[in-house]
Amino acid sequence: MAISRDRVDFQKERVDLVKRLFAVAFSFGLAGRIRELYDNPTSDDITTVVRLITGVIFVVICWDWFHKDIKKDIENNYYSSLRFLLDVIITLAYMTLLYISNNNNCWLFMLFVIFLLFLVWDTLAILELQKLPKCYDKEVNDLHRVMLWAIYFGCLWAIQASSPDLSQSLFSCLFVFLGIAIVRYEVNIAVWKWTTDTWKDTWVGRCLFGCPFVIRSPRRVGNAKRIIIIIFLLLLYFLFENFELFVKLLFKNFELLVKGS
């Protein structure tokens, strides 16, 4: 028992170190970018500020998500050195994300990298928690969630990278916010455990929540729904980012039609 208690205390000390490092990294990334905006103002400062705010929201949500996961792992005496090192790397990635808010392409790529790190983190957690069925099943579900949303953020970056004209687009911020908000919502669902007779599961509740994919029980969080939501969001993002192109093509076809008639 003494050995187990010592190990738990040691794991808590690791988490405390990550917490302190997060505070330093968050402050440095945020303050560094604000200082750059103050010292070198440009015409693109508004988009940089919006991107910075979106990044702050993303980091805070992910940090809260980390706390929910790591608390249970410490209680079960599972928090390996590899995941500890990965948490340090992820914390530094948060700092980088905030600091490079002035570059949309690099910013989106860093979001993708962070979710890839989450993917590795959950894979390590699965390997560690195989002996705990309840925790193991939860980690497998988390792995599926992170994998699909990593694909989503990777696609956002790929769409932007394929069109240099989108370097100052704010639509990427909107869809990054929507993506991480849905992830946070989905994580909350696993905690709330709505009952089947709640009004939120009726069509009225679904309309009021504005979400046709409202889930009443963590057992109903399926990959099919995630895939549908992600495809829908990516189609919207592609449409919004290329709206000007679509309008030009529409007018061009209309002119050809008029001339032909």
* pLDDT one-digit tens code per residue, 77-92: 566 778 889 999 999 9
CA dist 3 → 6, 9, 79, 255 (Å): 5, 10, 15, 80
Q: What is the pLDDT of residues 58-68, one digit of tens each?
A: 999 988 877 77
Mean pLDDT of 110-133: 84
Q: Could you give the CA distance from residue 185 to residue 182 in angstroms, rounded to a whole number?
A: 5
Q: Mean of the pLDDT values across residues 197-215?
A: 43
Q: pTM for this structure?
A: 0.78
Q: According to the model, what pLDDT value does residue 17 have?
A: 85
Q: Write down the pLDDT at residue 25.
A: 92
| pLDDT value of residue 56 | 95
Alpha-carbon distance 228 to 41, whole Å?
Answer: 41
The pLDDT of residue 217 = 38
CA 196 to chain centre: 29
| Residue 3 banded pLDDT, cuts 50, 70, 90 | very low
Nearest residue to 61 via CA among 149, 156, 161, 160: 149
